[in-house]
């Protein structure tokens, strides 16, 4: 266990989060302070005098959900953190829960070893009686925040067919790494915390590195680290393409000068997303890798709306057509990607469309090779999909 955290309250916690500009370490990268404020006094904050909420105070208190479901198949950072430093995650989650006056803390995880480590950590401390560990499924869309909360509440682990914020339901949900960062911030204070990382994005982040590297695994890097340093450390000798952010992320050229921060990646139209960095080299057909993952994303959809039920299978068929040398696939892919973007009940169609369009843009030369008969390279499966480790 780590040494005890300094005592704090909600006002002080918000001030710390603002000073450190702490963003979430999950896919959306949403500021944690904004989530806390969005709960609002009507959601049962300590000291609330809002007469609009007449419910019993025990029912109005928020629930804190620690999202360790890690449904992104290429990611291992969350389960690694839960296995190796469960007390750090608990420190942050219990601090946030205490400041909110939360009635319970739920740790959702699909990895059994991570669940066992967290369960053991709970038994080793006296302040975690309100914490429960829930094993959840590992389906891709089940890790979406609203789908996870819905599943924990006894419903189907699918995003609801409408846009809604969990804070409206008195739920504070954040990624496991986000809570660990809260604990680090409380121990270090904002000035020491800001001594690492970029000036506008202090701190560190965890990355899962895989694909064509000699040293795959989970690493912690200061935000703003150049891509070239990470690639060299991972043993990526001749990278041809990079997938950053996971399968709702983007394909990039391996420019060593790109900075691995949200602001740095935004300059090249990308995001850290799920904290995944996958490398492809000349030993595999990158277009075939794109096609494998696109087909998998279509199968992993919620199938609750037109963009998921029809748009994503059509998009997968378009990429497969390009792979076979049919030039009509490129025009159809652009049309189908535009048709699904912004029209789904959840963000899955948007993320899949971004993954495909960025891939086809980067892989134009390889697409041209396939239109002339193929690139001659096998599809090695460097991009893991469901069922792979």
Residue 383 lies in a domain: no
**What's the pLDDT score for residue 163?**
66
Same domain membership, residue 123 and residue 61 = yes
Helix (H/G/I), strand (E/B), else coil: 386: coil
Question: What per-residue confidence (pLDDT) applies to 48?
Answer: 33
| Nearest-10 Cα torsion for 122, 126, 129, 133 | -10
**Same domain flag for 128 and 233:** no
Q: pLDDT for 82-95, tens place per residue?
A: 999 999 999 999 99
* Rg of the chain taking only CA atoms, in angstroms: 21
d(CA 199, CA 201): 6
- Secondary structure letter of residue 197 according to DSSP: B
Residues of the chain with pLDDT under 70: 1-2, 27, 40-59, 161-163, 387-389
* Alpha carbon distance 370, 326 (integer Å): 8
CATH number at residue 77: 3.40.50.11540
**19 inside domain:** yes
**Angstrom distance (rounded) from CA 61 to CA 195:** 36
pLDDT of residue 9: 94
Q: Are residues 274 and 290 in the same domain?
A: no
The CATH number that applies at residue 213 is 3.10.20.600
How many domains are contained in the chain?
A: 3
Q: Are residue 246 and residue 167 in the same domain, yes or no? A: no
Q: What is the pLDDT of residue 162?
A: 64
Which tokens belong to 161?
């067919």
* 298 lies in some domain: yes
pLDDT tens column, 267-286? 999 999 999 999 999 999 99
> Do 48 and 117 fall within a single domain?
yes
Task: Tell me which of 150, 168, 194 is where a domain ends.
Answer: 194
Specify the residue for token string 């000291």.
Answer: 47
Contacts of 378 (CB under 8 A, 6+ apart): 284, 285, 288
Condensed to tens digits (0 to 9), the pLDDT of residues 83-126 reads 999 999 999 999 999 999 998 999 999 999 999 999 999 999 99
Q: Which domain holds residue 348?
A: 286-371
- Return d(Cα 300, Cα 78) in angstroms, integer: 21
Residue 199 lies in a domain: no
209 shares its domain with 300: no
Beta-carbon contacts of 243 under 8 Å, excluding residues fewer than 6 positions away, are 74, 211, 249, 250, 251, 252, 276, 277, 278, 280, 383
Does 156 lie in the same domain as 18?
Answer: yes
How far CA 102 is from CA of 93, 105, 117, in Å, comes to 10, 7, 23
Instruction: Decide which of 281, 298, 330 is a domain's last residue.
Output: 281
Residues 302 and 362 in one domain: yes
Whether 4 is covered by a domain: the verdict is no
Residue 44 located in a structural domain: yes
Q: 220 with 316, same domain? A: no
Q: Are residues 233 and 310 in the same domain?
A: no
Closest CA to 88 of 185, 196, 7: 185
Residue 335 lies in a domain: yes
Verify that 166 and 235 share a domain, yes or no. no
> What is the CATH number for 347?
1.20.1440.230
Joined tokens for residue 248? 């709702």
The answer to whether position 2 is within a domain reads no
Q: What is the pLDDT of residue 389?
A: 43
Closest by alpha carbon to 156, among 304, 46, 321?
Answer: 304
170 & 216 share domain:
no
**pTM here?**
0.91
In angstroms, the CA 72 to CA 27 distance is 10
- Per the DSSP assignment, residues forming a β-bridge with 217 are 209
Report the percent of the chain where pLDDT is more than 70: 92
Q: How many CB atoms lie within 10 A of CB 20?
A: 24
Among the three residues 223, 246, 281, which one is the final residue of a domain in this structure? 281
């Amino acid at each position: 266990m780590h040494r005890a955290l300094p005592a704090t309250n909600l006002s002080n916690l918000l001030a710390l989060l603002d000073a450190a500009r702490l963003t979430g370490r999950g896919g959306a990268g949403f500021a944690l302070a904004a989530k806390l404020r969005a709960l609002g006094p009507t959601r049962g904050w300590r000291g609330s005098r809002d007469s609009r909420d007449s419910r019993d105070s025990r029912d109005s208190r928020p629930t804190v959900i620690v999202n360790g479901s890690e449904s992104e198949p290429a990611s291992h950072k969350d389960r690694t953190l839960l296995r190796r430093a469960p007390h750090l995650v608990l420190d942050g989650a219990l601090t946030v829960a205490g400041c909110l006056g939360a009635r319970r803390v739920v740790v959702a995880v699909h990895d059994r070893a991570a669940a066992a480590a967290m369960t053991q950590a709970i038994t080793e401390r006296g302040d975690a009686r309100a914490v429960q560990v829930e094993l959840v499924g590992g389906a891709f869309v089940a890790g979406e925040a609203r789908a996870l909360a819905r599943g924990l509440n006894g419903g189907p682990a699918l995003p609801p067919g409408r846009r809604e914020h969990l804070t409206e339901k008195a739920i504070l949900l954040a990624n496991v790494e986000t809570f660990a960062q809260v604990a680090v911030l409380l121990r270090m204070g904002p000035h020491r915390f800001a001594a690492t990382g970029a000036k506008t994005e202090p701190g560190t982040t965890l990355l899962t590195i895989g694909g064509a590297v000699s040293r795959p695994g989970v690493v912690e890097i200061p935000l703003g680290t150049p891509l070239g340093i990470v690639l060299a450390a991972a043993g990526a000798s001749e990278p041809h393409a990079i997938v950053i952010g996971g399968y709702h992320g983007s394909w990039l050229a391996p420019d060593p000068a790109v900075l691995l921060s949200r602001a740095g990646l935004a300059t090249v139209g990308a995001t850290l997303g799920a904290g995944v960095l996958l490398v492809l080299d000349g030993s595999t057909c990158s277009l075939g890798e794109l096609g494998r993952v696109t087909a998998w994303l279509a199968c992993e959809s919620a199938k609750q709306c037109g963009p998921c039920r029809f748009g994503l299978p059509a998009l997968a068929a378009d990429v497969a057509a390009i792979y076979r040398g049919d030039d009509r696939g490129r025009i159809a892919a652009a049309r189908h990607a535009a048709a699904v973007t912004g029209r789904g009940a959840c963000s899955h169609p948007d993320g899949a469309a971004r993954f495909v369009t960025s891939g086809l843009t980067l892989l134009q030369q390889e697409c041209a090779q396939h239109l002339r008969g193929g690139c001659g390279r096998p599809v090695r499966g460097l991009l893991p999909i469901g069922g792979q480790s």
